[in-house]
Amino acid sequence: MRRFDELRKECLEANQMLPKVGLVDLTFGNVSILDRERGVIAIKPSGVDYNKLTLEDIVLIDGDGKKIDGKLRPSSDTPTHVRLFRGFVGMRAVVHTHSRHAVSFAQAGMAIPCLGTTHADYFYGEVPVTRPMKEAEIKGMYEWETGNVIVERFKELGLDPVDVPAVLVHGHGPFVWGPSGAKAVENAFALEIVAEMALKALQINPQARPIGRNLLNKHFLRKHGADAYYGQPQLG
């Protein structure tokens, strides 16, 4: 068996899910998976078409972003992924896309408000947007600084990245995460759905306001946390 094949396989399958659920155009986007115990990250190679992606193409990097195995260059967003894994210790997978409705909010510099219960099922309140990046950050270690502004925003707002597993980078697009590759992609898909719903709701009624805390709590907590009761219990 090749080195870290299971990790590579999870990464490959998660990346291949992105075009299947309509989250990417061209080669925009990437997924990474972390083996935190062994300090290894599997990530999509830069600029490779999803339809041509193979297990051997998946690149392995260490916790500093240095390539340790693979013939291709890792995603140009690799430093952002590494920074998020360091800053948000509860995650195993990071997804970055340029999904159109989520990007629309990012380009507008606007958080996605929690206008309804579909949003509340996945995100415990609005999905935040970062501040615009400074000139020095853009001209410096841009991708690393992108991760920094994400972590900074969550600290400013006092948000738990487990409860709000997504962010919009101002003028750029969404980064989303989760406990597995499949779940992170599901969260990214949910983000795109609620972004489209919010956009349409605000077009219909520009004065639309977020749902109340009681309804938010009900819908989020029935699916998440110790007292969740949505779905079926694990069997066996």
228 CB-near residues (< 8 Å, 6+ apart):
221, 222
How are beta strands 59-62 and 40-43 bridged, if at all? antiparallel
Which pLDDT belongs to residue 130?
A: 98
Tell me which residues of the chain have a pLDDT lower than 70: 1-3, 234-236
**DSSP 3-state assignment of 141?**
coil
35 carries an active-site annotation: no
Which pLDDT belongs to residue 236?
A: 46
Contact 217, 223 (CB under 8 A): no
Question: Which residue among 35, 62, 69, 121 is the active-site one?
Answer: 121
Mean pLDDT of the chain: 95
Contact 10, 33 (CB under 8 A): yes
Q: Rounded to whole angstroms, how far apart are CA atoms 212 and 200?
A: 20
Q: Rounded to whole angstroms, how far apart are CA atoms 163 and 136?
A: 31
Question: Which residue among 5, 25, 64, 230 is the active-site one?
Answer: 230
pTM: 0.93
69 carries an active-site annotation: no
- Domains parsed from the chain with CATH numbers: 5-221 (3.40.225.10)
First to last CA, the chain: 29
Which pLDDT belongs to residue 226?
A: 80
Which pLDDT belongs to residue 102?
A: 98
Which pLDDT belongs to residue 1?
A: 37
Contact 42, 33 (CB under 8 A): yes
Which pLDDT belongs to residue 2?
A: 59
Cα R_g (the chain), whole angstroms: 18
